[in-house]
Structure 1
Amino acid sequence: MSFEFDIILSHIWDTAGQERFRSLRTPFYRGSDMCMLTFAVDDSLSFKNLDTWRKEFKHYADVKADFPFLVVGNKVDLGRKVSKEDAENWCLENGDLPYVETSAKDSTNVEEAFMLCLRRWHNSDRQQNFNEILSNTIY
């Protein structure tokens, strides 16, 4: 992905929110530089589960309180059960997290969501640590 004059290689893990995949999810959390918490705007239960997913991620990834999260409301092309206002309020109550709404079906804001994700990472301590590692590496 091209970002601010750089090419950035991203590894993206879709960890599946279903309970039956819980044991498969957690090994992917450790070492993450960013987390996109995604829910379906047509499914109020998926929105309610944001608290669970965030706590689970923070526990298994062992990250600092200021870890860069992005909240994504997906499936905006379908009937809405979660209002944008409710989602934005949840983000505000959980550390003023950025929020974007997308549709994977018609590609609405998908690229924007990933660019926002990269911007959050770029402005975080995790990216600064990455730069320090690169500057101390002999090629």
Structure 2
Amino acid sequence: MQDWERLTRQANRAYSNNAFTDAVDLNRQALCEAERSFDEDFFRDAESAVAAAAVSFLNIAESYTALGDFISANTQFERAVHFLQTVISRPDMNNEQRSLIMRTATHIRFEWDLFTQSYQKDVSAQSKTLVQALSSAITAPNAYVCH
């Protein structure tokens, strides 16, 4: 958990200095730390373990938003929900832990709804651009694959 805290502090400093790409990278490293030690941390202090993962996902989304990469930001909310779904499906969870996961999922969903309300047009525009680029690449007459 100390590595996660250190990386998160560094990411927050980078974000404050408008170094958003660095903030994404540092928050990703923090998330990797949270995921790596999650099982051990969860049974020692479930609230801290779940909070670390949730904060990392949200921080990455916020950093991508600052970069104007709304699709990647949206993906972080999806990944956070998937992560919590994986955790809550574990057979060894007690009711208190299950309740913690549900509260955290509700918070993530609330943040995702706010993001969607604020950036829905941007996400749609970026999605459309990506689909057009993919379609062009697929239908280009000179496109071929080398093996």
With normalisation by structure 1, the TM-score equals 0.40
Larger radius of gyration: 2
**Which structure shows the higher helix fraction?**
2
With normalisation by structure 2, the TM-score equals 0.39
**Which structure shows the higher strand fraction?**
1
